[in-house]
Amino acid sequence: MKPSVGTPIDRIDAHKKVTGTATYAADTDVTKVAHAVIVTSTVGKGAIAGMELVDARRAPGVLAVLSHLDAPRVASGKGSHNEHNPGERVLQLLQSDKIDYPDQPIAVVVADTLERAQHAASLLKIRYTPDAVVATIEQAINSAYTSKAMAHGEPDSNRGNVETGLGAAKWKLEATYTTPVENHNPLEPHATIAVWHGDELTLYDATQGIFGVRNRLAEIFGIPKTKVRVIDQFVGGGFGCKGSPWSHVALAAMAAKVVSRPVKLVVTRQQMFSLVGHRPHTIQHIRIGCDAEGKLTAIRHDVINETSRFDEFVEPSALQTRMLYACPNASTSHKLVRIDAPTPTFMRAPGESSGTFAIESAMDELAHLAKLDPVELRMRNYAATDPQMGKPFSSKSLDQCYRAAADKFGWAKRKPQPRSMREGHELVGYGMATATYPANQQPAAAKATAKPDGTFLVQAGTQDLGTGTYTVMSQLAADALEVPIEKVRFELGDSTFPEAPVSGGSMTVGSVGPAVVEACKQLKAKLAATTDRSKDIVAEVKTELKERDLYSFHSFGADFVEVRVDEDLGIVRVARVVAAFAAGKILNPKTANNQFVGGIVWGIGMALQEDTVRDRRTGRIVTHNLADYHVPVNADIPQIDVIQIPEKDDHVNAIGTKGIGEIGITGVTAAIANAVFHATGKRIRDLPIRLDKLFV
C-alpha cells in the first residue's frame, strides 16, 4: 500500500468548508439561545462615575444588563498574572469601576435577539471620571523595566564582551528599528456560546486551546475542570489571538448563568482591535560589527515593547539574534513600558517576525558597508551549532535554502549598487533575508479505536485553525495502521478527548502527531493479538518529550524578494518572491505550501501596510476596521515560489517534523526593506514602508 504521508492530498475537511456545512463556534445550533453584546468604555483611563441602565433594561426583549454594579462575583476576580503560564491574560469581568484602557468591557446586555441586544446597548448612559492617558511607548520610555514574563527563555542574554568586539570591528553599525501595533484579523471573529446544565458548563468557543479555556473557566467560576466542556471543531483562523481565553468567554458564561439560558456572544470586528490582544509596538536598537573579512565581531540587540498597566506581555524579538549567526560576542535584552492600552499577545511568529526585521535589516546594512554580497556575509557567519546554547542543531539546512532560493530567483543578476537597476520609470530592487522559527513541542495524548465495521476512529483534543490538522493527522494514522486513509476518521476540538496543547508556536503536528502514531501502533499490535473484532478495541497513549536538552531545534529558510518602486510617486510593489524552507519532514506538500505562502503574504502586509493607529490624546484605536486597517488583497500579491528543502531530523520528535505555520512570515519584512533600499538607496527602519517615508 502506498504511504499517505508525504503525498499532497486534498484537505479532508475541504468539502464541508466549501459547502458551508463546517460548524464554527457561532454556527452551533443551540435551542433558545439568547444574544449578548459587550459595551465598552469611551475613555482610556479613569473610573465609571455613574451608569443609567433603566432604559436598556426596559427595552423589548432584554433579559439582563450586567455591569460592575450587579455582575456576579467570580472566584478569580480580575485574575492575576501567572508566571507559570505567560499566555494566560488578566481579564476584565465587570468586577470594579476602574477603567484601565480604551474600549474596555464595562457592561453586557443580553436579549432574545442580537438586534434587540444591540439596540438596548445603545441606550446605556455612562458617566466617567477620566484620567490622563499614556498612549505610546515614547511617552513613557524612561519607565522601561525588565520583566520575567517571557514565554520562552530569559529576557536578557550575554556571551563574550560586546564592547571589545565592537572595538575590534572594521565595519560597524548602530541603528534603531521599529514595528507598529498590529492586530489579528482572522476571518472568523471571536465567538462563544455558553450553556449551563446545573453546575456544569459547556462552551462552544472559537479558540486555539480548548484545554486552556476549560482550565481558566473552571478557575473563574470555582468549579472542577471535569464540569467544564469546551467544543470547537473548526476555527476560522487564529494566528495567536485565539490562543488565550479572553474576557468575552467568561462574560458569555456569566450572562448565561444570570439569565438561565444559553447565551451567544460574538465579538464585533471593531472590538477585535481592543478585546483580544495585538502585536505590540517594538523599538529595537542594534549595534553590530564585523572585521575586514566579514566575520561578525559583536551583536547587541535591545528590545522595548509596550504592555498594559495591569498585565505583562514580552514580545521576544531578540531571541533569534542569540542563535542565528556565529558571533563570539553577543548580548540581548527585552524591556517593557506600561501604557494605557490592552494587553498585547502572541501574533504569528511572535518575536521572530518583528525581530528578524531588525536583525536582518542590520545584516543587510552591514553587508553594504563592508561591500559584501548579503548572502556572502551570512555564509561567512554561518552557525554550524547554536552559538548561545553551545548545542548542535537537531538538523540545519539553511545553506541549502540560500543556494536553492538564490538560484531560482536569479540573485546573480543583482547589481550591488543601490539605484543601479530600473525598468522604465520603476526602480528595481533585490533583497533577501534569513527566516527562522523554533521547532517547539509539548506532551500530548491521543486515542485510537478499531470499530467492528473495519474503520478506525482517532481522537485528540487539539484544534484545526485551517492549517490542515484534520488531514495530516489522518495521514499519519493511516500509515501507522497500514490502512487506506478512507478507513480513518480523525476527530478533534473536544475537551473530553485526550489532552493536547494549544495550537500555537507551530507545535501541533510535532506534539500531537507522535501521540497519534504511537496510539495507532499500539492499536495495531492489539489487533494482531486478537481474533475477536466484534467490539471496539482501544489504545490510548500520552507522549513524553525526549532529547529536548541535547539539541537546539529550529526551522530555517531564506526569502528573496524583488520590488518595483515608482520613482515619481514612491509607490512600492512587491513583484515576486522566491523562498526556500527546511522544516524537517513534510507530511503533506500541498497543505505545507499553503502555510508557507500564507506566512509570506502576511509578511508583505506587515512590511507595507499593517499599522494600528492610536489617538495619542485618548488612546483609542482609530483604524479599528478593515477599511482603515489595511491588509493585502489579491492585487497586492505577486508570484510566490516556495521551495521545500527535504530534511531528515531524527532528534526533533518521533515523526521528524518541525512545524511550518509561522516560519513563513519571518524574514519577509526585512527582505522587502532590503530590496527597497537596493532600489532607492533609502533605508527604511520604521514599518510599515509607505511612500511618504521614501520622500523624507
Q: Which amino acids are annotated catalytic?
A: 662
Which amino acid does the sequence have at 217? Answer: L
Helices marked H in 201-285 — which ranges?
A: 210-221, 247-259
Q: Helix/strand/coil (H, E, C) string of 320-384?
A: HHHHCECCCCEEEEEEEEECCCCCCCCCCCCCHHHHHHHHHHHHHHHHHHHCCCHHHHHHHCECC
Question: Is the Cα dihedral 383, 389, 395, 401 positive or negative?
Answer: negative
427 HSE (CA, 13 A, CB side): 22
User: Cell triple for residue 120?
Assistant: 438596548
| Cα 340–Cα 345–Cα 348 angle in degrees, nearest 5 | 140
Strands 296-307 and 330-338: parallel
Look at residue 608 and give its three-state secondary structure. helix
CA distance 498 to 515: 10
205, 28 in Cβ contact below 8 A? no
Residue 583: alpha-carbon gap to chain centroid: 18
Residues ≥6 apart with Cβ < 8 Å to 664: 435, 557, 579, 581, 595, 596, 597, 598, 599, 600, 602, 603
CA distance 272 to 25: 16
Residue 619: alpha-carbon gap to chain centroid: 24
Look at residue 473 and give its three-state secondary structure. helix
> Which H/E stretch holds residue 7?
none
Look at residue 124 and give its three-state secondary structure. coil
Strand order in the sheet with 200-205: 62-67, 105-111, 34-40, 263-266, 191-197, 200-205, 228-231
β-sheet bridge partners, residue 282: 179, 305
CA distance 420 to 1: 56
**Polymer length of the chain:** 696
> Which H/E stretch holds residue 475?
helix 469-481
Residues ≥6 apart with Cβ < 8 Å to 18: none
Strands 34-40 and 263-266: parallel
E-only strand ranges, 30-104: 34-40, 46-52, 62-67, 98-99
Question: Is the Cα dihedral 354, 397, 501, 599 positive or negative?
Answer: positive
Q: If you compute the radius of gyration of the chain from its CA atoms, what whole number of angstroms results?
A: 26
Which amino acid does the sequence have at 569? Answer: L
β-sheet bridge partners, residue 428: 564
User: Cell triple for residue 126?
Assistant: 455612562
User: Cell triple for residue 247?
Assistant: 474576557
